[in-house]
Amino acid sequence: MASGRMEFHVQSIMQHANFCYVLPNDVEMPEVVDKRHYERKTKSLILLHGLTGTDSDWLFGGVAQEMAIQYNLAVFMPTCGNFFYLDRGYKGGNYATFVGEEFPDYVNKVFGYCGSREDTLIGGLSMGGYGAIHTALCFPERFCDCMGLSSALRIRDIAKGGEEGPMSRALLRDVFGDPEKLLGSEKDPEALYRKRKAEGRPLPRFYLACGTEDSLLEANRDYRDFLKKEGADVCWEEGPGGHNWRFWNQYIDRGLRHFLG
């Protein structure tokens, strides 16, 4: 397998951005548990980090290499700062456009992956779980499947002016804008899902999971209930665990098994 780290100039955020990658291009078959994954073409997975994280998190804390080997996945992990993978409305601050459009286009040009919707998944943890859901709904023609692990979905709390964990109210306002205008906006995953559904655009399949000792559990259950009510294709799992790599590494494997068999 090949792995590494690169950077390229990103027009949407007007800076050089790092990303890590893992490619299953020379995997030894004795390493693979279910060899059926190598009877199809390699699929692509964009994995997003959480708050204060970086592109190497899923390599050093997570199991990106093992997932690439076991599921025949080309995994790409960009750095996006603490901006929740959202567009800020001006060139130089459009992080959703970076992750959902410019990054997969660059990956396709350089590596030949992320070329089709049916072969491209997106996932993330915490802030990255929110980012994966938001990105998949902003660019539904690009992503067939979306995994949100312990997703930072306390949108109603933010709209009330409350703090989201370590984020101050000033930082939340900078990221999400006026709290009074948040609900119903495209930064609200419920409103965004309804909008895409009304437009008749393709919708991703969802895998959502959260630990029973995680403070984000109720917000994730609420989004699960919303998606089920809307008739979305959603798989939900919860189990013992907190907001940590032990839980995320276990449940990303379960999510990939759900989507890839």
Question: CB–CB of 62/75 below 8 Å?
Answer: no
| Beta strand segments in the chain, E | 2-10, 15-23, 43-48, 73-78, 120-125, 145-149, 205-211, 234-239
CATH number for the domain running over 2-260:
3.40.50.1820
Whole-angstrom CA distances from 231 to 16, 163, 194, 226, 234 are 40, 31, 11, 9, 9
Q: And the tokens for 153?
A: 């979905």
Give the whole-angstrom CA distance, residue 212 versus residue 117.
32
Strand-pair category, 73-78 with 120-125? unpaired
pTM greater than 0.95 (yes/no): yes
The DSSP code for 40 is S
Give the whole-angstrom CA distance, residue 135 versus residue 100.
6
Instruction: For the chain, state the CA radius of gyration.
Output: 17
The DSSP code for 102 is I
AA identity, residue 59: L
The residue count for the chain: 261
pLDDT in single tens digits along all 261 residues of the chain = 899 999 999 999 999 999 999 999 999 999 999 999 999 999 999 999 999 999 999 999 999 999 999 999 999 999 999 999 999 999 999 999 999 999 999 999 999 999 999 999 999 999 999 999 999 999 999 999 999 999 999 999 999 987 667 888 888 999 999 999 999 999 999 999 999 999 999 999 999 999 999 999 999 999 999 999 999 999 999 999 999 999 999 999 999 999 999
Residues near 14 by Cβ (< 8 Å), separated by ≥ 6? 91, 92
Give the whole-angstrom CA distance, residue 47 versus residue 212.
23
